[in-house]
Amino acid sequence: MQPFGIFFRLCGNEVLNRTDHLNNINYMKKQLNLFLLLLLSGGFCMACWKSDNLESPRVSNTKTGYKPIYIATELVYKVTVQSPQKLKNPGKIYIKDNYLFVNEVGKGIHVFDNTDKTKPVALSFIAIQGNIDIAVKGTTLYADNLTDMVAIDISNPANARVVKRLPSTFPNVVKAYPDVMDTYFECVDPSKGTVVGWEKITLDPNHLPDCFRY
Amino acid sequence: MKKLQHIFLVLIASVLGMLYACKGVSESPSNGGGGNAGIAGSMARFAIVENVLYTVTTQKLMIFDISNEQSPVARGEKAIGFNIETIFPYKNYLFLGSQSGMQIFDNSNPLVPTWISTYSHIMSCDPVVVQGQYAYLTLRTASACMRGANQLEIIDISNPKAPKLINVISMINPHGLGVDGDKLFVCEGNNGLKVFDISNPVSPLLQLTLSNIETYDVIPNNNVLIVTGKGGISQYDYSKKGELTLLSQIAVE
């Protein structure tokens, strides 16, 4: 069981603080071969460390890294209806009757009247932080709002409103690290708000961030 | 006598009605569409089957009762392993695409989906769509998937307990896909969109390639194909064999 303990710990969602786990390091080295085997067979494993005062980590990329994009937590869970917006980074699509819904990755949903396929008409943009997925039943749209599931009444898309919110339905979407391996990143500071994404940054090789993944 | 005639007519009408209803189910072209729900693309992680909304996160299948449309109620979840990426409901089954394979759940009892089988393959990103007794699955190598193959797989699911690989077609960079009747649409990322003739469902024949667009996912519905990709949304008429006619585009800014 022990190797699996290590395995899952390394695959966990929290950033490990090296000093907290010093006692594990020797054990880990013993298990390194097994770990590498699991890594190779698993492919999805990840490791995150906070490099307080230990030797430099095994990250090869010291040129570019990532920093968290924060949004004030009280704004993250505020769904608003706006006038139609331009498409910037379209994601998934969904159709219901004559409506076409286009996800703007991480930002919300463009609503179109698609009665005339040669001329879809933009009706509104429903701004939903962290939104990726959509489903509709009747006149209710279900969407992910970062960690929450929201049900939105769209009987009038220009006046869509949240009718139900299920908090913390998807707790794992807020991550303390970027979805990239072999990289340094600025550690998350919860006092700055909620992390809604990660921005690529150029690193100063003399002042590398404290957090990294390899 | 008149009464008998009446009963007879009612009988015929109901048989026709049932036939029509069955036809409707078997030819439902895409992800969802039943029970007053909409239709999703193959990359969806949300799916509605009648009064139940399913969501897949990387490790969980979650179940929500939406009998009261405006008030979804969480009704439990199932652990489903690692890196589940997509969900496609078809008849009484849910097909889950993951980086390690396709899982099939029986959802005859929609609130209690039960695992039936897992079709495993090498690590890849892979959505799945289903028509008749065949599942079409794309496998793609990508940084998020670490490694794998770029291919389209055709899997016989006539026995959902034992899915069987029937055919493999190599692809360049496949993403979402959609199936409707004798046509299979496969997004090739930067390499456009491919249309296959699947008159013979087990051996798709490449009919057409649109290389001037970047494609991520599609929804084929009533002879209109909606395509999403980095450049925006495009809609095509696919009613004519071997042809896609551009109807409209919503371009990115």
pLDDT of residue A43: 36
pLDDT of residue B23: 34
pLDDT of residue A5: 31
State mean pLDDT over A82-98. Answer: 97
Q: How far apart are CA B170 and CA A8, in angstroms?
A: 34
B233 → chain A, closest CA residue: A90
My answer on whether A80 and A164 are in the same domain is: yes
My answer on whether A83 and A151 are in the same domain is: yes
Q: How confident is the model at residue B3 (pLDDT cuts 50, 70, 90)?
A: low
Q: Which residues in chain B have their CB less than 8 angstroms from residue A61's CB?
A: none
Please indicate, yes or no, if residue A21 is contained in any of the structural domains: yes
My answer on whether A89 and A139 are in the same domain is: yes
Instruction: Return the bridge partners of A90, or none.
Output: A104
ipTM of this model? Answer: 0.86
pLDDT > 80? residue A40: no
DSSP character string of B139-165: EB--GGG-S---EEEEEE-SSTTS-EE
Mention every residue, 6+ apart, whose C-beta is less than 8 A from residue B26: B91, B132
Task: Note the residue count of chain B.
Answer: 253
Q: Which residues in chain B have their CB less than 8 angstroms from residue A169's CB?
A: 55, 62, 74
State mean pLDDT over A10-16. Answer: 35
Size of interface A-B (CB pairs under 8 A): 149
My answer on whether A81 and A141 are in the same domain is: yes
Residue A95, chain B, CB below 8 Å: the answer is yes
Contact A92 B57 (CB under 8 A): no
pLDDT of residue B26: 34
User: Which residue in A117, A142, A170 is closest to B248 by CB distance?
Assistant: A117
Q: How far apart are CA B211 and CA A25, in angstroms?
A: 51
Task: Give the mutation candidate from A94, A103, A147 for the B interface (greatest B CB count, under 10 A).
Answer: A94
CA A168 to chain centre: 14
Q: How confident is the model at residue A23 (pLDDT cuts 50, 70, 90)?
A: very low
pLDDT > 80? residue A176: yes
Instruction: Name the domain count of chain A.
Output: 2
Q: How confident is the model at residue A73 (pLDDT cuts 50, 70, 90)?
A: confident
pLDDT > 70? residue A54: no
Please indicate, yes or no, if residue A199 is contained in any of the structural domains: no
Q: How far is A53 from chain B (nearest CA, A)?
A: 30
A85 → chain B, closest CA residue: B253
pLDDT of residue A11: 32
B76 → chain A, closest CA residue: A169
Please indicate, yes or no, if residue A159 is contained in any of the structural domains: yes
Chain B 156-185, residues with CB within 8 Å of chain A CB atoms: none
Please indicate, yes or no, if residue A32 is contained in any of the structural domains: yes
pLDDT of residue A119: 98
| A47 or B150, which is more confident | B150
User: Which residue in A43, A119, A166 is closest to B123 by CB distance?
Assistant: A43
DSSP character string of B214-225: -BSEEEEETTEE
Helices and strands of chain B, counted as H and E runs: 1, 22
User: Which of the residue ranges A166-175, B93-102, B147-156 would you say has the lowest mean pLDDT?
Assistant: B147-156
Q: Which residues in chain B have their CB less than 8 angstroms from residue A92's CB?
A: 40-41, 43-44, 217, 228
Q: Which residues in chain B have their CB less than 8 angstroms from residue A94's CB?
A: 38-41, 44, 219
Q: Which residues in chain A have their CB less than 8 angstroms from residue B46's CB?
A: 133-135, 142, 144
Please indicate, yes or no, if residue A101 is contained in any of the structural domains: yes
How are beta strands A108-113 and A121-127 bridged, if at all? antiparallel
My answer on whether A95 and A43 are in the same domain is: no
| A1 or B239, which is more confident | B239
My answer on whether A157 and A80 are in the same domain is: yes
pLDDT of residue B125: 66
Please indicate, yes or no, if residue A89 is contained in any of the structural domains: yes
Please indicate, yes or no, if residue A22 is contained in any of the structural domains: yes
> What is the per-residue pLDDT across B98-143, written as a single tens digit (0 to 9) for each?
887 899 999 999 999 999 999 987 666 679 999 999 999 998 876 4
Q: How far is A120 from chain B (nearest CA, A)?
A: 8
How are beta strands A161-166 and A194-202 bridged, if at all? unpaired
Q: How far is A171 from chain B (nearest CA, A)?
A: 10
Contact A137 B74 (CB under 8 A): no
My answer on whether A83 and A167 are in the same domain is: yes
My answer on whether A34 and A101 are in the same domain is: no
My answer on whether A85 and A149 are in the same domain is: yes
Question: Which pair of structure tokens corresponds to residue A148?
Answer: 């929450």
User: Which of the residue ranges A60-69, A119-128, B132-141, B146-155 would you say has the lowest mean pLDDT?
Assistant: B146-155
pLDDT of residue B24: 32
pLDDT > 50? residue A58: yes
Alpha helices in B53-104 (DSSP H): none
pLDDT > 50? residue B16: no
Q: Which residues in chain B have their CB less than 8 angstroms from residue A142's CB?
A: 46, 48, 53, 64, 66, 72
Q: How far apart are CA A120 and CA A141, in angstroms?
A: 20
> What is the per-residue pLDDT across A115-158, written as a single tens digit (0 to 9) for each?
999 999 999 999 999 999 999 999 999 999 999 999 999 999 99
pLDDT > 90? residue A74: no
My answer on whether A38 and A94 are in the same domain is: no
Chain B 221-240, residues with CB within 8 Å of chain A CB atoms: 221, 224, 226, 228-230, 232-233, 235, 237
User: Which residue in B57, B69, B226 is closest to A93 by CB distance?
Assistant: B226
The whole domain housing A35 covers 1-50
My answer on whether A95 and A127 are in the same domain is: yes
> What is the per-residue pLDDT across B170-229, written as a single tens digit (0 to 9) for each?
999 889 999 999 999 999 999 999 999 999 999 999 999 999 999 999 999 999 999 999
pLDDT of residue A173: 84
pLDDT > 80? residue A34: no
Please indicate, yes or no, if residue A184 is contained in any of the structural domains: no
Residue A109, chain B, CB below 8 Å: the answer is no
Tokens 């013979």, residue located: B200
Q: What is the pTM of this model?
A: 0.80
Q: What is the mean pLDDT of chain A?
A: 79
pLDDT of residue B247: 98
The domains of chain B, with CATH numbers, are 29-251 (2.130.10.10)
My answer on whether A82 and A155 are in the same domain is: yes
